[in-house]
Amino acid sequence: MEVTLSILLGFMIIGAIFALHAKDLLSAVIAAGIVGYSLVICFLLLKAPDLAIVQVVVETITLIIMVAVVLDSTREELKVKIDTQQIFNISLAFIFMLALIFFFVQATDMLNPFGQHSLRMASAYVGETAAKTGSANLVTGVLFDFRGYDTLGEATILFTAAIGVLTILRIKGKK
């Protein structure tokens, strides 16, 4: 189990690195698709079928939007020369990485090994969701009952994003 997940994650890292260094924007977008679709298999292995269904559809729609944008503009990657600004950016990135690695090492002391119980709330949610909401799918029960505010906020964000896209992409005003 852990070995399979490690191989998939390594595959995702290779795909991500290729997406950042590709010379063609279309191949960069498709390499980002590698990462997304590997994530679907990871979710299936981790016993999360809800997430797998959502991720496979959402990844497809994201790819459609990204490919439409890339085909509509340009496919060529910029020709970047290494100058002082670029060196400064790269060193800044490594400083950020070192700081994050420091915090990660600190945080892993608190983390249980993979496959062990990590969150204390889990037993309460697993035990009482079915009895209190009557929903056989516990994820839906948590999502629409105990954490209804999360769902409402998510729907609001989606609504705002749709309005924002409409506003940004409008050329001629509506009468």
Partner 1 sequence: MIVYILCFVLFLVGLYGVITRRNLVKIVISLSIMEFSIFIFLALIGYIDGGIAPIITGQDINPTYVDPLPQAMVLTAIVIGLATTAMLMAIAIRLYRKYGTFDIREIKNLKG
Partner 2 sequence: MSLIVKKVAQLITGFIFLYGIYIIVHGHLTPGGGFAGGAIVAGAYILQTLAFGRDTLLLKKKETNTSLSESISILIALMLAGAGFFIGTKVFFNNYLPTGKIGDLVSAGTIPLYNIFIGIEVAAALLTIFLALLIYKEEIEE
**Comparison of 46 and 132: residue with beta carbon closer to partner 1:** 46
Q: How far is the CB of 38 from partner 2 (least distance, A)?
A: 19
Cα–Cα distance measured from residue 112 to residue 16, given in angstroms and rounded to the nearest whole number: 27
- Collapsed DSSP state (helix, strand, coil) of residue 76: strand
Q: Which of the residues 43 through 102 are near partner 2 (CB under 8 A)?
A: 49-50, 52-54, 57-58, 60-61, 64-65, 68-69, 72
- Joined together, the tokens standing for residue 80 give 């970047």
End-to-end Cα distance, the chain: 59
Task: Please report how close the Cβ of residue 56 comes to partner 2 at its closest, in angstroms.
Answer: 9
Is 169 one of the binding residues for partner 2 (CB under 8 A)?
yes
d(Cα 90, Cα 97) in Å, to the nearest integer?
Answer: 11
Identify residues 133-162 at the interface with partner 1 (CB under 8 A): 136-139, 141-143, 147, 150-151, 153-154, 157-158, 160-162
In whole angstroms, the minimum distance from the beta carbon of 173 to partner 1 comes to 16
> Alpha-carbon distance 72 to 76, whole Å?
12
Between 25-45 and 2-21, two packed helices, what is the crossing angle to 10 degrees? 170
Among 27, 77, 132, 173, binds partner 1 (CB under 8 A): 77
CB of 166 to partner 2, least distance (A): 5
Residue environment code for 19-37, b if the CB has 16+ CB neighbours within 10 A, otherwise e = beebeebeebbbbbbbbbb
Neighbour count for residue 15 (Cβ, 10 Å): 19
Task: Kindly state whether residue 158 participates in binding partner 2, applying the rule CB under 8 A.
Answer: yes
Q: Does 134 participate in binding partner 2 (rule CB under 8 A)? A: yes
DSSP type of residue 24: B
Binding residues for partner 2, rule: CB under 8 A, are: 49-50, 52-54, 57-58, 60-61, 64-65, 68-69, 72, 130, 132-137, 139-141, 143-145, 148-149, 151-152, 155-156, 158-159, 161-162, 165-166, 169-172
